[in-house]
């Protein structure tokens, strides 16, 4: 390990040292280097308990992997639809797990190399090493061969991201996978149990089901926590119709390998709320029970950086500054803030500009668009209906909604009630749009444009005055007239 030494006249080895290769850390490093600062980024990709390397950090963002897997599933649906459009196949179509694994792994390697090249071109120094704060402005750097060196920096940024959690039940670490381990499997996952109803869990369940594999989701504790629960229910209904099973009010108590079975089949023990147990066998058990901030073992306590006792995430100011003046944090290590790859990159860029570019613009953590690659893509910006009611009062909220049928779905006669939008408006503020939700093909691309409009104070009347692009799906948002109150009243009267 031979990091470039700083000139002797400098008080510190580096102007900026970033611990961790999360998307926010990469962004702040590249922007600071572009502003002629000497920058070092430390990013050691640690293997998971199953031996697979983390796909996040500087290798490739997990959201990119999710989109690629979603595309693999969509292609399977497109093959089925294509016959309705007149396409004929000379041979039976089947999916090859090994080919997909190889393609994804190549994409990971390619993206990792590309990121390292970008850092080098920007003038950022990069080391595959761990960083631990040992004193103010001082970091002990440990490389893969356990060689150590101490380096100093005027400013430190923590961007270590987060990692998958385990349940700490017998057999979970020995026999279960996480989403980051999925592509260490040399074989198809087969019959899979997905533990957890998180966005990550539903994405994996939907993708595997789309490949034709039997999938069961054990919901712990609820479906899509933090998201709009009515939208979560619609996603669940769609997945149920397409063959995914859901298990509620059960918990996982043990995972063990079936004796005298060379196939690696697993026996899972479930426990109900009443204490009753049952057992089932699966080929794969995948844990998606949330993510834990990677803030341990990096020396935060040595210099007084304060973290939340509940989450372990770092407490920061509106300027992304920790309780220690020269230490900042970006990305999912921050406590109490939304976390997406795009948000982290935006926040990291703005942080570098404030530190070195004379800018004062802070990152706006409200109205952050997000996308979940469930079988029918779901994207949202702003508040869920539950949070809007809580913040403004149910009487002050109007929800406009509609199902829609994408034109390309009409010929293959896909379900008319799979795609749905709703717009949540604050009545006293001229029906300002405070939440926008889309469930349908390319939902993320649709919501991206409306996210910009919401930043500008989008009101319902402005949506109504917008010309819809016919015959595209997004036009449904420009012609919403039915409110949820009216729909519910019609159902009570039996008119719907």
- Known catalytic residues? 470
Instruction: Give which of 302, 17, 325 is closest to 150, Cα–Cα.
Output: 17
Question: What are 291's strand-pairing partners?
Answer: 164
CA dihedral angle for residue 440, residue 198, residue 394, residue 479, rounded to 10 degrees? -10
Instruction: Give which of 489, 28, 418, 56 is closest to 206, Cα–Cα.
Output: 418
What burial class does residue 403 get, using C-beta atoms within 10 Å of its C-beta: 0-12 exposed, 13-18 middle, 19+ buried? middle
> How far is Cα 246 from Cα 355, in angstroms, rounded to an integer?
48
Residue listed under structure tokens 């090249």: 117
> How far is Cα 40 from Cα 18, in angstroms, rounded to an integer?
6
Q: Output the CA torsion sign for 402, 408, 410, 414.
A: negative
Per-residue HEC secondary structure of the chain comes to CCCCCCCCCCCCCEEEEEECCCHHHHHHHHHHHHCCCCEEEECCCCECCCCCECCCCCCCCHHHHHHHHHHHHHHHHHHHHHHHCCCCCCCCCCCCHHHHHHHHHHHHHHHHHHHHHHHHHHCCEEECEEEEEEECCEEEEEECCCCEEEEEEEEEEECCCEEECCCCCCCHHHHCEECCCHHHCCCCCCCEEEECCCHHHHHHHHHHHHCCCCEEEECCCCCCCCCCHHHHHHHHHHHHHCCCEEECCEEEEEEEECCCCCCCCEEEEEEECCCCEEEEEECEEEECCCEEECCCCCCHHHHCCCECCCCCCECCCCCCECCCCCEEECHHHECCCCCCHHHHHHHHHHHHHHHHCCCCCCCCCCCCCEEECCCCCEEEEECCHHHHHHHHCHHHEEEEEEEECCHHHCCCCCCCCCEEEEEEEEHHHCCEEEEEEEECCCHHHHHHHHHHHHHCCCEHHHHHCCCCCCCCHHHHHHCCCCEHHHHHHHHHHCCC
Answer yes or no: are the C-beta atoms of 234 and 420 closer than 8 Å: yes
């Amino acid at each position: 390990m031979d990091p470039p030494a700083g000139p002797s006249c400098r008080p510190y080895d580096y102007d900026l040292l970033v611990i961790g290769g999360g998307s926010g850390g990469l962004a702040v490093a590249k922007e600071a280097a572009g502003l002629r600062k000497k920058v070092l980024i430390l990013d050691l990709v640690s293997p998971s308990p199953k031996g697979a390397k983390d796909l996040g950090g500087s290798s490739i963002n997990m959201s990119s992997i999710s989109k690629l897997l979603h595309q693999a599933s969509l292609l399977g649906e497109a093959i089925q639809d294509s016959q309705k459009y007149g396409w004929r196949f000379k041979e039976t179509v089947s999916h090859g797990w090994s080919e997909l694994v190889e393609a994804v792994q190549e994409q990971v390697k390619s993206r990792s190399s590309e990121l390292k090249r970008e850092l080098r071109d920007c003038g950022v120094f990069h080391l595959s090493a761990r960083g631990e704060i040992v004193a103010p402005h001082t970091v002990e750097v440990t490389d893969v061969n356990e060689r150590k060196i101490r380096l100093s920096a005027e400013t430190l940024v923590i961007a270590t991201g987060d990692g998958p959690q385990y349940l700490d039940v017998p057999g979970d670490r020995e026999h279960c996978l996480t989403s980051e381990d999925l592509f260490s499997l040399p074989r198809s996952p087969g019959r899979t149990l997905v533990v957890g109803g998180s966005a990550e869990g539903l994405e994996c369940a939907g993708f595997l089901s789309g490949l034709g594999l039997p999938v069961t989701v054990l919901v712990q504790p609820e479906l899509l926590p933090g998201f709009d629960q009515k939208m979560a229910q619609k996603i669940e209904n769609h997945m149920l119709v397409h063959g995914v099973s859901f298990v509620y009010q059960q918990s996982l108590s043990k995972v063990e390998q079936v004796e005298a079975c060379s196939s690696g089949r697993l026996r899972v023990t479930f426990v109900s709320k009443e204490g009753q147990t049952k057992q089932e066998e699966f080929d794969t058990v995948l844990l998606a029970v949330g993510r834990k901030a990677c803030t341990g073992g990096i020396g935060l306590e040595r210099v007084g950086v304060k973290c939340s006792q509940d989450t372990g995430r770092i407490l920061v100011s509106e300027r992304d500054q920790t309780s220690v003046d020269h230490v900042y944090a970006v990305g999912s290590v921050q406590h109490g803030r939304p976390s997406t790859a795009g948000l982290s990159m935006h926040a990291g860029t703005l942080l570098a500009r404030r530190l070195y570019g004379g800018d004062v613009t802070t990152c706006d953590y409200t109205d952050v668009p997000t996308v979940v690659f469930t079988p029918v893509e779901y994207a949202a910006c702003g508040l869920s209906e539950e949070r809007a009611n809580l913040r403004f009062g149910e009487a002050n909220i109007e929800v406009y909604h509609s199902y829609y049928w994408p034109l390309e779905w009409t010929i293959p006669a896909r379900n008319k009630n799979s795609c749905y939008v709703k717009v949540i408006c604050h009545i006293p503020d001229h029906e300002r749009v405070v939440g926008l939700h889309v469930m349908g093909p390319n939902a993320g691309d649709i919501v991206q444009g409306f996210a910009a409009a919401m930043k500008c104070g989008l009101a319902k009347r402005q949506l109504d005055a917008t010309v819809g692009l016919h015959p595209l799906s997004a036009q449904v948002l420009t012609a919403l007239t039915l409110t949820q109150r009216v729909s519910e009243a019609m159902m009570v009267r039996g008119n719907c």
